[in-house]
Structures are given as structure tokens and as C-alpha cells.
């Protein structure tokens, strides 16, 4: 990782929950959980309708789910916020070998919405696009403890 982990003690973004995108069919796609310790957890991108969303949120707190992901690099990362700019570095899945690292950057619109506009991977891929992320509160978040980020 190029970024160093720092505690996030600002209020540019709400972090007592998760951020999601909206699929074309109107379903919600949970994407990221941000933590005060500067760690980010990518949730995947499965689409849920409103009826199934609460069940999905509850599954993130199940001990089996937490223990499964705690020791794997995939979907863990670090985030930095500089004024209205956001940078994410996250390990992603790969077809073989070590998980590749990718970086996404964008702008914060308000404390519950941000847009990611560019990406680049350690494998040499890069591009631009515009993905908007919206905040949803969670009463309890999964633990950010893992063995891959100090």
C-alpha cells in the first residue's frame, strides 16, 4: 500500500454505517464500511431489494463472516480524506497470485454522499467513471480488526 493508515477524526463523511450505490433496477448495492481507525472494508456489490437488505446487514455481524474475512487481504484497505477529496486503497480479488491493490479517488459532496471518479490498479489498469455512493446508518458495524493492516 502507498497510503499509511491514520485515524479518521474528522466529520467530512459520516461513518456510523455503510455506503452503497444504486443499481439500474433500483436495488441497493452495499459497497464500503469506513472505520475511525482509517480502515475500509469493501462489502462486495451484491444487489438487494429493501426486503432482503436487513438480512444482509445482519449477516455482516455473524461471527463466521467476521472470522472468515479477518485474515484475508481481499476487500480490506485504507482511506484518506483531504478536505473534499477521498482516496481509497483496497486489495481486490484476482484470478491467481496475491490480491492486487487498487486505488480509487473522488470528491465528497456532503457528509453522506461522495463520488469516485478514477481508479488505477497495481496491475496497470486505470480509468475514469463516475460512481455515486450514499450513506445508510447501521446501529452496529462489523469489527474492523484484521491481521493484514497495521
pLDDT digits (tens, 9 = 90+) for 104-115: 999 999 999 999
**Is residue 4 domain-resident?**
no
Distance, in Å, from the CA atom of 22 to the CA atom of 35, rounded to the nearest integer, reads 22
Q: What is the reported pLDDT for 128?
A: 92
**Is residue 2 domain-resident?**
no
Interval 43-102: pLDDT, tens: 877 889 888 888 888 887 775 565 666 667 778 899 999 999 999 999 876 655 555 778
At 118, which CATH number?
2.40.128
**Is residue 85 domain-resident?**
yes
**Is residue 5 domain-resident?**
no
Q: What is the reported pLDDT for 95?
A: 57
Q: Domains in the chain: how many in total?
A: 1
Range of the structural domain that residue 38 is part of: 17-137
DSSP-based three-state secondary structure for 94: coil
**Is residue 11 domain-resident?**
no
**Is residue 38 domain-resident?**
yes
Give me Rg for the CA atoms of the chain. Answer: 15
**Is residue 39 domain-resident?**
yes
Per DSSP, helices labelled H in the chain are 50-59, 63-70
Cα angle value 9/11/14 (rounded, 5°):
110
How many C-alpha atoms does 133 have within 13 Å on its Cβ side?
28
**Is residue 9 domain-resident?**
no
Question: In the predicted model, is pLDDT for residue 148 greater than 60?
Answer: yes
Amino acid at each position: 500500500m502507498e497510503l499509511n493508515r491514520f485515524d479518521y477524526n474528522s466529520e467530512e463523511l459520516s461513518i456510523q454505517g455503510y455506503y452503497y450505490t444504486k443499481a439500474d433496477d433500483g436495488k441497493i448495492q452495499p459497497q464500503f464500511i469506513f472505520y475511525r481507525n482509517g480502515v475500509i472494508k469493501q462489502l462486495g456489490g451484491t444487489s438487494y431489494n429493501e426486503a432482503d437488505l436487513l438480512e444482509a446487514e445482519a449477516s455482516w455481524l455473524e461471527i463466521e463472516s467476521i472470522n472468515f474475512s479477518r485474515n484475508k487481504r481481499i476487500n480490506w484497505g485504507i482511506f484518506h480524506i483531504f478536505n473534499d477529496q477521498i482516496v481509497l486503497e483496497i486489495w481486490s480479488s484476482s484470478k491467481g497470485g496475491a490480491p492486487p491493490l487498487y486505488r480509487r479517488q473522488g470528491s465528497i459532496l456532503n457528509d453522506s454522499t461522495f463520488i469516485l471518479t478514477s481508479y488505477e490498479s497495481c496491475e496497470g489498469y486505470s480509468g475514469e467513471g463516475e460512481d455515486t455512493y450514499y450513506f445508510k446508518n447501521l446501529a452496529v458495524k462489523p469489527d474492523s480488526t484484521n491481521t493484514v493492516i497495521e
